[in-house]
Structure 1
Amino acid sequence: MSGVLHWGATMAAPLLRWTLRRRVGRGKEDPARLREREGFGAARPEGRLIWLHAASVGESLSILPLLAELGRRAPAVDFLVTTGTVTSARLLPTRIPPELRGRVTHRYAPLDVPEWITRFLDGWRPDVACFVESELWPNTLLACAARGIPLALLNARMSQRSYGRWRSLAPGLARRLLGGFALIAPRSAEDAQRLAALGARELAAPGDIKLAAEPLPADPAKLEALRGCIGARPVFLAASTHPGEDEQILAAAAELTSRWPALLTIIAPRHPERGAAVSALAGGAARRSEGKLPGVAAVYIADTMGELGLFYRLATCAFIGGSLVPHGGQNPLEAARLGCPVLFGPHMENFADASAALLAAGAARRVPDAAALAATLSGMLTRPEEAAAMGSAALHVVSAATDLPGRLAGAVLALLPGKAAGQG
């Protein structure tokens, strides 16, 4: 199977180049950095180097506490962080702790083509390679193993669907790939069971590193400007919405404003480029990307990047997008970490454990549709003490993993061959 994947990816390289160029035209790739996808652009620093790969925004931001702890414990070690999306590449550098910015380099991850991976590894020569969640790229992992690079799988995730596919289509390859990791830190007990059934051996105690992330930041001056504009109005935030949800959000908001005329509904689309379309659905609502403030309007479109921290701090309650449509939901912990009561729809498969923990603690409520969303929000606006209790419960949930970054950092640094980690 590994030989088939090797030659298959090699033969597919011309098609992959064409696909990358097409993605440039859709804004999905950075044309100035496209060669990084083929493994070019190495600029390895002297000394020890730990490589961490995270697929996109959520995964890359989740490792920031781990990165900070690694930097504190190993002052002579540098870090390479790779991701696969333009959004993550833009946002991650702004979130790196100031004391680490000279020690962290970002690159786009090379695609899983043997020649491209070889070029990447020849240039960077990482001492340890860490992959986050479900990033099991066969040619990449096998190439690292062939060079003797210690491998770690952090916040390891194996959904029931992925487990079924690996077990039925490539159980031998799954066993070989998972068996090559010196450390696997599963996200949950369920993930640990599935990984073990597929052949994982070096399993650490379960723990979700996304619980340990720092609260989303907010520019104080921008926050003050918004607070001055909004005043005492109650705020309903629909965060990270997907197509097909905005209409439902607006329907719920319209039902509520008949009873709560001062209510401000803020819609933050998951992809800011949808701002114009969402604004049109809302009858030409003001858009933050155009420099406008909410004013006295009933709906405001927050179509900018990296500002959700502002709106969670303003929200009376937050609905988590990607959950009224079958997308699988977005991260509810970002709201919980700021003490914001959480609502979400029936589709939270991507964050099943986090959403279950919030529901069990009374920090969140699940709503099946727009009508239930409106009814639930109305109840929270009528009884603000219940919303406050939900916010307090949310803070309690996310405090449960405060020691996890330290435990993971110690385990990763133990993989560094040779000298003690702090000696470089």
Structure 2
Amino acid sequence: MSPLLSLYLGFSRVSGPLWRWSRRRRVARGKEVAERLPEKFGTYATPRPEGTVLWFHALSVGESLALVPLIERALDDLPDAHVVLTTSTATSATALAAARLPERAIHVLSPVDTVAATRAFLDHWRPDVAAFAELDFWPRLMVETKARGIPMILVNSRMPDGSFARRKRIAGPMRDVLRLFDRLLVQDEASVGRFAALGADPDRIEVAGALKAAARPLPADEGELAQLASAFGDRPRWLGAATHGTEHAAMIEAHGTVTKDEPRALLVLAPRHLRDADEAETLARTRFNVARRSRGEAIGAETQVYLADTIGEMGLWYRLCPVSFVGHSLLPDLEGKNPYEAAALGSAILHGPHMSYFAESYEALTAEGAAACVTDEDDLAKAVLRLQDEATRAGMSEGARRVIAARGAVLDRTWAAIRLLLS
């Protein structure tokens, strides 16, 4: 075991008071749900179900929603089993409630990384297998899981350039953690070599593809959808989805160009982080009439920008907007966001040139004519205007359907690998 990991594990034996202090601060700042805080320290209102329990872990909203079809598949295949899904954030709890997990799936917040909390979690749920999504590694939790002989599998993971460079700086602990896994299912060939370089056993690594390509369409409340569709009417519209705060100036500038050709056009702006909403509103109001969803402001004929600053409603915006710019991709140092949420709901996909986290996904979509890259606000405005034509969008939507259909096998491969560990 590396000295750095040994030091961390020693710290995890005495860090309980620090974790409790930090969680209370987060509750005060609205970043934790007070009534669910006991879950983070190993206290649960729900007893462990009888029989097989499968444990899936994901960091937050996007990662956990990508696991939902896999959880459904597991429960269909094992009618007497239950699933415990752990996530780390309060926002994921809100999103999963909207997504409506299957009846035999239980969502709890993941334990803080102390000896007491992780052992309390494992004592209570006694999982038969543990599937960790992507790269959310908590060493104490993983070491304790392995010590109990629970089979461990990494699913839906990738190692883009930036993440690889950062993790090489902690090569010792990364090697120790990666060697705990019985199987590692990665999204692309590039990740195979990078995981191996960080110390994973090459014989345990397999390319399975991206689960997000097989994810079910994001949900949407039918009543809200009908009400918003009526308010939007037949206006030309486009979506800025999962945008970063540094991209909002370009969004507003592009919309200014769009409205010169289409004066009735509406921009729905859905920032990735709600903390960016105030600044986005201030910026948009310098040029446009703005309505904000979190304040319940109505959309009128005069509304030019609708700030969609809520959690768990992206299914509405992708359904209502025929064109989506998928953000976190326009400027350097950004690394892209999942394009399949838009693709699954038929919204034509635009993106910037910086999307290394999802490079393989965008390459597949681009090859089928299902996504287009824009480089700046002028390029973005031209693409938005071009894609207001329904026939032009239709070709992109058909290409997206081909990609999603071709990648549906990722669900079969991932579940087969997990099922094997239960044998």
TM superposition score normalised by structure 1: 0.91
Does structure 2 conserve the Cα–Cα contact (< 8 Å) formed by 1:188 and 1:353?
Answer: yes
Deviation at 1:112, TM superposition (A): 2.0
Instruction: Determine whether 1:316 maps to 2:317.
Output: no
Q: Over residues 169-193 of structure 1, what are the superposed CA-to-partner deviations in whole Å (9 max), with x where a residue is unaligned?
A: 334x433322322222111111122
Deviation at 1:290, TM superposition (A): 3.1
Counterpart AA for 1:116: A
Instruction: Determine whether 1:295 maps to 2:297.
Output: no
Deviation at 1:59, TM superposition (A): 0.5
Identify the match of residue 49 of structure 1 among 44, 53, 57: 53
Does structure 1 conserve the Cα–Cα contact (< 8 Å) formed by 2:158 and 2:186?
Answer: yes
Does structure 1 conserve the Cα–Cα contact (< 8 Å) formed by 2:94 and 2:311?
Answer: no
- Aligned in 2, Cα 1:163/1:324: closer, same or farther, shift over 3 Å? closer
Identify the match of residue 351 of structure 2 among 344, 353, 356: 344
**What CA distance in whole angstroms lies between the structure 1 residues aligned with 2:65 and 2:26?**
23
Identify the match of residue 37 of structure 2 among 34, 38, 43: 34
**What CA distance in whole angstroms lies between the structure 2 residues aligned with 1:96 and 1:202?**
33
Counterpart AA for 1:37: K
Counterpart AA for 1:193: G
**3-state secondary structure, aligned to 1:63:** helix
**What CA distance in whole angstroms lies between the structure 2 residues aligned with 1:62 and 1:193?**
24
Does structure 2 conserve the Cα–Cα contact (< 8 Å) formed by 1:113 and 1:139?
Answer: yes
Counterpart AA for 1:375: K
**What CA distance in whole angstroms lies between the structure 1 residues aligned with 2:366 and 2:134?**
23
Q: Over residues 308-364 of structure 1, what are the superposed CA-to-partner deviations in whole Å (9 max), with x where a residue is unaligned?
A: 212212213101122234332222111011121111123312322222222222211
Instruction: Determine whether 1:185 maps to 2:189.
Output: no
1:232 equivalent in structure 2: 234
Q: Over residues 76-115 of structure 1, what are the superposed CA-to-partner deviations in whole Å (9 max), with x where a residue is unaligned?
A: 1111100011110111133235xx22x1111111122223
Instruction: Determine whether 1:387 maps to 2:390.
Output: no
Counterpart AA for 1:36: E
Counterpart AA for 1:158: M
Q: Over residues 26-78 of structure 1, what are the superposed CA-to-partner deviations in whole Å (9 max), with x where a residue is unaligned?
A: 22111212222222226311211111100000000001110010000001111
Counterpart AA for 2:16: A
**What CA distance in whole angstroms lies between the structure 1 residues aligned with 2:126 and 2:292?**
45
Identify the match of residue 378 of structure 1 among 380, 385, 391: 385
Structure 2 unmatched ranges of 5 or more: none
**3-state secondary structure, aligned to 1:152:** strand
Instruction: Determine whether 1:5 maps to 2:8.
Output: yes
- Aligned in 2, Cα 1:279/1:170: closer, same or farther, shift over 3 Å? closer
Instruction: Determine whether 1:416 maps to 2:422.
Output: yes
Instruction: Determine whether 1:134 maps to 2:130.
Output: no
- Aligned in 2, Cα 1:10/1:214: closer, same or farther, shift over 3 Å? same
- Aligned in 2, Cα 1:320/1:114: closer, same or farther, shift over 3 Å? same
**What CA distance in whole angstroms lies between the structure 1 residues aligned with 2:357 and 2:283?**
27
**What CA distance in whole angstroms lies between the structure 2 residues aligned with 1:175 and 1:243?**
35
Alignment of 1:168-317 (within 5 A): 168-171=169-172, 173-197=173-197, 198-200=199-201, 201-272=203-274, 274-283=276-285, 285-296=290-301, 297-317=303-323
Identify the match of residue 68 of structure 1 among 36, 49, 72: 72
**3-state secondary structure, aligned to 2:79:** coil
**3-state secondary structure, aligned to 1:126:** coil
1:398 equivalent in structure 2: 404
Does structure 1 conserve the Cα–Cα contact (< 8 Å) formed by 2:208 and 2:414?
Answer: no
Q: Over residues 253-276 of structure 1, what are the superposed CA-to-partner deviations in whole Å (9 max), with x where a residue is unaligned?
A: 011111111211111122346545
Percent identical pairs in the alignment equals: 39
- Aligned in 2, Cα 1:177/1:206: closer, same or farther, shift over 3 Å? same
Count of residue pairs brought into register by the alignment:
412
Structure 1 unmatched ranges of 5 or more: 418-424
Instruction: Determine whether 1:110 maps to 2:114.
Output: no
1:420 equivalent in structure 2: none
**What CA distance in whole angstroms lies between the structure 1 residues aligned with 2:295 and 2:80?**
44
1:421 equivalent in structure 2: none
Does structure 2 conserve the Cα–Cα contact (< 8 Å) formed by 1:117 and 1:140?
Answer: yes
2:368 equivalent in structure 1: 361
**What CA distance in whole angstroms lies between the structure 2 residues aligned with 1:307 and 1:176?**
39
**What CA distance in whole angstroms lies between the structure 2 residues aligned with 1:37 and 1:96?**
22
1:422 equivalent in structure 2: none
Deviation at 1:277, TM superposition (A): 4.1
**What CA distance in whole angstroms lies between the structure 2 residues aligned with 1:167 and 1:306?**
34
1:82 equivalent in structure 2: 86
**What CA distance in whole angstroms lies between the structure 2 residues aligned with 1:307 and 1:368?**
27
Does structure 1 conserve the Cα–Cα contact (< 8 Å) formed by 2:237 and 2:265?
Answer: yes
2:340 equivalent in structure 1: 333
Counterpart AA for 1:89: A
